[in-house]
Chains A and B, each alone.
Chain A
Amino acid sequence: SAVISQKPSRDICQRGTSLTIQCQVDSQVTMMFWYRQQPGQSLTLIATANQGSEATYESGFVIDKFPISRPNLTFSTLTVSNMSPEDSSIYLCSVPQGQDLGGYTFGSGTRLTVV
C-alpha cells in the first residue's frame, strides 16, 4: 500500500498567520483527501484534492480558509489561512490503498496549535 510522508508533524502558530501542510506519496494516486480531527473528536473530511482541477470542499469548509494545491499525482498541500484558536486540530491527508473496495492510508498527521 501507499506510503505517505506528511510534514510538519506539529507546529505552534500565532493567530492570523497561515500554515501550509505537505503530503508526499510514494506512488501516483488519483484521489487525495484532507481530514481534520479536532481534540477528542472523530475525523471530518475537509476536501478532496484533484490533480489538474480545483479541490472539492465539504460543507462548512471553503477554499479561502483551506486552499489546496495538487500539482501532480504524488503531492498535495493544505494551507490553513488566517488561523484562530478554533483551528487547533490534527490535520491528516489520506489516499486509497489500491483496490477499489479497499481501505485508505493516512499520513502521520500535523498537530496544529494556534495561540
Chain B
Amino acid sequence: QKEVEQNSGPLSVPEGAIASLNCTYSDRGSQSFFWYRQYSGKSPELIMFIYSNGDKEDGRFTAQLNKASQYVSLLIRDSQPSDSATYLCALKTNDYKLSFGAGTTVTVRA
C-alpha cells in the first residue's frame, strides 16, 4: 500500500463552486500533512499544512484532518480559474521526509 493515496482526478468544477480534494494515508504515526499547489511547469508551492484534528482555514482554502480515519482533505471555496493546477497531498514521515500522493489536477471552468 502506498503511503499516501490521493484521488487522482482530474476534477473539473465551475467557477464559484467548491472543489473538494481527498487523501488517505497508511501510517497512523504521521504527524503533519501538507497541501501543495503546482502550476504547469512550476515547482510545488505550499498552500496549507495541518497537524491537529479538525479544520484549518486560510482564505478560500480549508484543510481538514481526521487522524482516526486517516484522511486529510482540502476544500477550495469560490473556485477561480487561477486555482486551476495540480494539488499534491503530502505527509512528513518520522525521519522528516515528505511523501507525496499522486496529485489531483483541478480545472476551474469560467
Q: Which residues of A contact B (CB under 8 A)?
A: 31, 33, 41-45, 48, 92, 94, 96-97, 101-109
Contact = CB atoms under 8 A, between A and B. Distances in A.
Interface stretch (B13-21, B76-84, B96-104): B96-104
A9 B43 CA distance: 11
B98 A104 contact: yes
Nearest to B34: A103
Q: Which of B43, B51, B92, B103 has the most CB of A within 10 A?
A: B43
B63 to A, nearest CB: 12
20 contacts: A41-B102, A42-B88, A43-B44, A43-B98, A45-B98, A92-B44, A96-B96, A97-B46, A101-B31, A101-B49, A101-B92, A102-B32, A102-B49, A103-B36, A103-B49, A105-B46, A106-B45, A108-B43, A109-B42, A109-B43
A106 B46 CA distance: 9
Q: Interface on chain A toward B: helix, strand, loop, or mixed SS?
A: strand
Contacts of B100: 42-44
Contacts of B32: 101-102
Contacts of A96: 96
Nearest to B50: A101
Given A42-B88, A101-B92, A102-B49, A33 B98 contact: yes
Contacts of A33: 97-98
Given A92-B44, A96-B96, A102-B32, 14 more contacts: A41-B102, A42-B100, A42-B103, A43-B98, A45-B98, A48-B97, A94-B98, A101-B32, A103-B46, A103-B49, A104-B46, A106-B43, A109-B42, A109-B43
